[in-house]
Amino acid sequence: MSTQPTRRNFLKVSAAAGGGFLLGFSFLTSCEQKAVATLAPELVMPEQWVQLNGFLKIGANGVITIVSPNPEIGQNVKTSMPMLIAEELDADWEQVIVEQGKLNTDIFTRQLAGGSQSIRHGWEPLRKTGATARAMLLAAAAQQLSVPVEELTTEKGMIHHAASGQQVGYGAVAELAATLPVPETVALKAPKDFKIIGQGKKNVDARKIATGQPLFGLDVQREGMLIASIVHPPAFGMQLKSVDDSAALAMPGIRKVVTINTAPEGAELQWSDTNAFPRLVAVVGETTWQVLQAKKALKLEWEQVSAPESTEAHRAAFEEQLTNGKTEVARRDGDPEAAFASAAKIIEATYSAPLLPHNTLEPMNFFAHVTADKAELLGPIQTPEFLEKTLVSVLGLQPEQIEIGMTRMGGGFGRRLYGHFGVEAALISKAAGAPIKLVYTREDDMTQGTYRPDYLVRYRAGLDAEGKLIAFHIRGTGTNGSPVFANRFPAGAVDNYLVENFGQPSNVSTGAWRAPQSNFIAGAEQAFLDEVAEAAGKDPIDFRLELFERASKNPVGEKNDYEPERYAGVLKLVREKSNWDADSGDARGVAAYYCHDSYVAQVLDLTLDSAGKPQVEAVYCAVDCGIVVNPEGAINQVEGGIVDGIGHALYGQLTITDGKPQQDNFNSYRLIRHPEAPKRIETYFVDNGIDPTGLGEPSLPPVVGALANALYMATGKRVYDQPFIGELPG
């Protein structure tokens, strides 16, 4: 494997003190295929490289420091990404220290936490970092020991020469290695030779988290730092008109009341700047309590600039659009209209989901210190590079004048993709002339927007006299867009297939919420497929497997974005592990879904208590996400997604009346509670040896469908509208 497209893209310097080795890469998309003779036989070259940087520091004492470039939102990449480097380096994991990298667009690329893609994109570049460093350390050891490099082996940070019995640690040859040429090519390990990848490793921050050490944005403290809190309009469709801050400024500890605009005229905003309320009032003071009290003393006047909206109006507009809206065809196979006309049986169902806030455990916050020629920011952000681009525009600074550090995040789920709170902090600091930490209250966040959109989708299926699925029709709409993926299953498995997508514009801001679109459409699709299977007189798993077999042997169309064999594989695995064909004594539901390049199938068992309330007894989950880098972290991700999916499908709902959110804290917004979580979750990974795909999000979408199908088995009533708890008898 080529180590670099040109020498100038490789950085190599001696450590500043005590010898050692500092190694960094900038892997560009111009890496070319080398002659097969220079590559390890098991290596398959990608079509192109994703530019991604990894820094590796080896001290003279043998301690290895690895800089993790991507934001950490609880998905454990701060552990798993360094594992990739350590594996190819043959490092002793117990001697590895992990540091969180800062934003650096010169040497890092895709410093972003989103789409469950961090490991997928870093898989080969980060391993190449470790393999190149190992090759240089071996070359240095060969010189120092006066032996052929081919006779040397490595293990746990030590270099061995079996013939002479000599050995040397990485630290002892690090300084010499820093003076050697960078190898033209390196070989990566075959999966069978992995010693760190595939082994469960504890979260590198676990001890710090458990002992309360400062890791999160809310922990940030700086000398002279003030506290800031914002006030935004009370309803969507309104904006600030005037401010009387005289009473607030007279209160103890209050330094400033400022107004800011995060979207000034002429600003070059990014997709991540989604924000329903760019014009805000901010109170700046010495303590949080003083600031919160001063907010209450502000006399604010608002004006209506667009029509107020409501949950009921959204639903009515969606219904009208799906019934009478102008057709916007996203995919058409065969002749669906003729197939429905000849069908012996037609099944139709409509599914809905409400707006959902993200409700991260750690509220939105950001530290900023902006002066005339510099801006320092530090906080929990999923998209630091896009935040920097916006700050360049609104502050009038150059990128090299802006420093953005990333703290660990107390949850993200897509909420911290939208960096307006970082921009707000910077503008407040500039206006106040002081370093500040902006902290949202729960009410500030829940009523600000950037919600999971509300959706409505209508399915129709046509069966012939033998129960064969001959026609399938989907119409989907929602706030600011449709939830339907036109080329996902069952596309490719039905001769006559039609998808129509719609969307309703809104002044209610929406955005990505864990597994965007999939978090709703998977549950609707899988619940509907169970209803169709019942109408066809077939077992739900058998019915799905028949469709996957059709898509595998004789697919319809050429744009199907899933592999039916892998889809069928997780279904077969969960069928086995859940003992599906036996009577468990509980109500059972099954679902399978593909998203973020991974496949997940689940069987959910539940019972009803004496009051008719559901209790999830068990969830069996089969996952095909390629090689699992860190099984311990992977299981945590799967289990978290399952609990999250069940909780929001049963209870989650944010409603709007006259533009005003009706739920603003946990006394009015229902989350799943500890006794309501599944009593048992069993997770099984498909061991297929392929490169890793996404894992942070794929376990959430299908569990909504498995839950809906189990509720039908328990109650005899199908649920169509989330939250399901409102649909249940009694």
Neighbours of 116 (CB within 10 A): 22
The predicted structure's pLDDT at residue 220: 98
Angle between helix 631-651 and helix 518-536 axes, rounded to 10 deg: 80
Higher-pLDDT residue of 14 and 570 is 570
Phi-psi group of 156: left, alpha or beta (phi > 0 → left; psi -120 to 50 → alpha; rest → beta): left
4 has a pLDDT exceeding 90 = no
322 found inside a domain: no
Strands 614-624 and 598-608: antiparallel
**Domain end residue (candidates: 176, 210, 244):** 210
The predicted structure's pLDDT at residue 593: 98
18 has a pLDDT exceeding 60 = no
**Domain end residue (candidates: 405, 439, 473):** 439
The predicted structure's pLDDT at residue 31: 31
The predicted structure's pLDDT at residue 24: 59
Give me the chain's average pLDDT, please: 91
Domain range for 108 = 7-210
Neighbours of 634 (CB within 10 A): 23
The predicted structure's pLDDT at residue 22: 66
55 has a pLDDT exceeding 80 = no
Same domain (yes/no): 633, 562: yes
The predicted structure's pLDDT at residue 177: 87
List the beta strands (DSSP E) in 6-127: 10-13, 21-25, 55-58, 64-68, 96-100
Q: For 356-399, how does the pLDDT look when each residue is reduced to its tens digit (9 = 90+)?
A: 999 999 999 999 999 999 999 999 999 999 999 999 999 999 99
The predicted structure's pLDDT at residue 56: 81
Separation between Cα atoms, residue 718 and residue 710, nearest integer Å: 9
Domain containing residue 171: CATH number: 3.30.365.10
Q: Are 519 and 558 contacting, i.e. CB atoms less than 8 angstroms apart?
A: no
Q: How many CA atoms lie within 13 A of 306 on its CB side?
A: 14
The predicted structure's pLDDT at residue 110: 81
444 found inside a domain: no
Neighbours of 193 (CB within 10 A): 11
47 has a pLDDT exceeding 50 = no
Q: For 701-721, how does the pLDDT look when each residue is reduced to its tens digit (9 = 90+)?
A: 999 999 999 999 999 999 999
10 has a pLDDT exceeding 70 = no
Q: For 317-363, how does the pLDDT look when each residue is reduced to its tens digit (9 = 90+)?
A: 999 999 998 878 999 999 999 999 999 999 999 999 999 999 999 99
The predicted structure's pLDDT at residue 28: 30
Angle between helix 631-651 and helix 700-715 axes, rounded to 10 deg: 50
Q: For 439-450, how does the pLDDT look when each residue is reduced to its tens digit (9 = 90+)?
A: 999 999 999 999
The predicted structure's pLDDT at residue 36: 24
Q: For 469-490, how does the pLDDT look when each residue is reduced to its tens digit (9 = 90+)?
A: 999 999 999 999 999 999 999 9
186 found inside a domain: yes
Retrieve residue 389's tokens. 């681009």
Q: How many domains does the chain have?
A: 3
Q: For 191-246, how does the pLDDT look when each residue is reduced to its tens digit (9 = 90+)?
A: 999 999 999 999 999 999 999 999 999 999 999 999 999 999 999 999 999 999 99
Domain containing residue 256: CATH number: 3.90.1170.50
The predicted structure's pLDDT at residue 153: 98
What percent of the chain clears pLDDT 90, i.e. is strictly above it? 83
Give mean pLDDT, residues 584-613.
95
Retrieve residue 215's tokens. 């890791």
Give mean pLDDT, residues 28-43.
28
The predicted structure's pLDDT at residue 108: 74
Same domain (yes/no): 260, 143: no
Same domain (yes/no): 32, 51: yes
Same domain (yes/no): 352, 403: no
Same domain (yes/no): 418, 488: no
The predicted structure's pLDDT at residue 331: 97
Q: What is the DSSP string of 638-696?
A: HHHHHHHHHHHHHH--B-EETTEES--STTTS----GGGS-S-EEEEE----PPP---S
41 has a pLDDT exceeding 50 = no
Sequence-separated (6 or more) residues with CB below 8 Å from residue 380:
71, 73, 216, 217, 362, 365, 366, 406, 407, 408, 409, 410, 412, 416
319 found inside a domain: no
The predicted structure's pLDDT at residue 266: 94
Same domain (yes/no): 17, 129: yes
Same domain (yes/no): 582, 604: yes
Cα 154 to the chain's mean position, in Å? 36
508 has a pLDDT exceeding 70 = yes
Reduced to 3 states (helix: H, G, I; strand: E, B; else coil), residue 272 is: helix
Separation between Cα atoms, residue 54 and residue 22, nearest integer Å: 11
Sequence-separated (6 or more) residues with CB below 8 Å from residue 41:
none
309 has a pLDDT exceeding 70 = yes
Same domain (yes/no): 83, 38: yes
The predicted structure's pLDDT at residue 713: 97
Residue 50 — very low, low, confident or very high, per pLDDT cuts 50/70/90? very low
605 has a pLDDT exceeding 80 = yes
Higher-pLDDT residue of 3 and 528 is 528
The predicted structure's pLDDT at residue 20: 63
Sequence-separated (6 or more) residues with CB below 8 Å from residue 409:
71, 72, 73, 74, 113, 216, 217, 360, 362, 380, 381, 382, 416
